[in-house]
Amino acid sequence: MEKLVSNWFNDQPLPQSYIFPPETRPGNHVIPGCSTIPVVDLSKASGHDRTGIVQQILKASREFGFFQVVNHGVSENLVNDTMNLFKEFFELPAEDKASVYSEDPKRPCRLYTSSSNYETEKVHLWRDNLRHPCHPLEECIKIWPQKPTRYRETVAAYSIEAKKLGLRILELVAEGLGLSSGFFGDKLSESVLLSVNHYPPCPDPSLTLGVSKHCDPNLLTILHQGDVHGLQVYKDGEWIGVEPLHNAFVVNIGHQLQIISNNKLKSAEHRAVTNSKVSRTTAAFFINPSDDCIIEPVKSLIDTDESPAYRAFRFKEFLLNYVSITGNPEKSLEPFKLHV
């Protein structure tokens, strides 16, 4: 418990154990929010502009692996309520957080700090994280935090809406790839995990990271990043900032969607930097295949002059491997690649 950054950060210089080596630290170079990451107006997907919206999503998923969605249909009040509850959770007195805190990565609902490898990692991340599964809801809700008092009821409503939004986006992706309706709707998107990051104000953001460079190992991520800068995407050798937009969600392609699309869609590397003024709380909704689901490139997406870039595997095999190579995103696809 005493390891949580939110429990000790006040007025202390940045401890040595949070200082990243010069190659991976953000440095003093300011990276502003960038307007090149496409913003998709989802309200148009139900009208005559649907084809245009599908094309925008596909182009963004190919080029950036990232886009933002606005007019997404999730109630603004529900999003604000949920984000405020997440903030309140991290501000609870230590004794209230203690029941959720765990250093055991196998515990399904847990509050912890940095990464799953706190004891062995070289440098700690400037973040605390609360994560828990959201499906099946009736089962999962029983293990969620009980404080703040409205947590379970509000986060349940939010997770239903976030899942619906995710499925809607996956439906548009399927359409763009020429796959059948509902292609991603069953086993491929069965499991959902909520991961709430809390980055307290940091004494020296140039030296440390909230989340280091990685790709998400799942199918699709729907992130609410609040109104504070911090998320950056690595593209063509440069970091670009993802502008916090009012009432928008950031969507990014996970490794599984890259594999299924035989590299047509891209799972982009990204990281989160800290800031010195305010705390930042973000909520990532990870849409995952079920553990036993078999993942492989879809035949119709392998062009005639191409061969499959990956072998078939079960999603749980990917996850086991991913955990063991955390911190080395370039390596996570290696064991599944077919070299021709």
CB of 47 to ligand OGA, least distance (A): 31
**Partner touching 65 among Ni ion, ligand OGA, none, CB below 5 to 8 Å by kind:** none
**Judged by CB under 5 A, does residue 161 bind Ni ion?**
no
**Partner touching 222 among ligand OGA, Ni ion, none, CB below 5 to 8 Å by kind:** none
Report which of 226, 227, 160 is spatially closest to residue 194, judged by C-alpha positions: 160
User: Which position's Cβ is nearest Ni ion?
Assistant: 216
* Residue 19: DSSP 8-state: P
Place of tokens 């290696």: 334
Question: In angstroms, rounded to a whole number, what is the distance separating the alpha carbons of residues 220 and 167?
Answer: 10
Question: In angstroms, rounded to a whole number, what is the distance separating the alpha carbons of residues 124 and 3?
Answer: 10
**Judged by CB under 5 A, does residue 128 bind Ni ion?**
no
Structure tokens at 128: 């605390």
Structure tokens at 169: 């986006």
CB of 251 to ligand OGA, least distance (A): 12
The answer to whether the CB of 212 falls within 8 A of the CB of 326 is no
Q: Of 185-244, which residues contact Ni ion (CB under 5 A)?
A: 216
Residues that bind ligand OGA (CB under 6 A): 195, 197, 211, 216, 225, 230-231, 270, 272, 282, 284
CA distances 167 to 59, 182, 286, 327, Å, are 19, 9, 12, 29
Give the residue with the Cβ less far from Ni ion, 217 or 297. Answer: 217
CB of 110 to Ni ion, least distance (A): 18
**Judged by CB under 5 A, does residue 269 bind Ni ion?**
no
Give the residue with the Cβ less far from Ni ion, 128 or 216. Answer: 216
Question: In angstroms, rounded to a whole number, what is the distance separating the alpha carbons of residues 200 and 228?
Answer: 12
**Partner touching 272 among ligand OGA, Ni ion, none, CB below 5 to 8 Å by kind:** ligand OGA
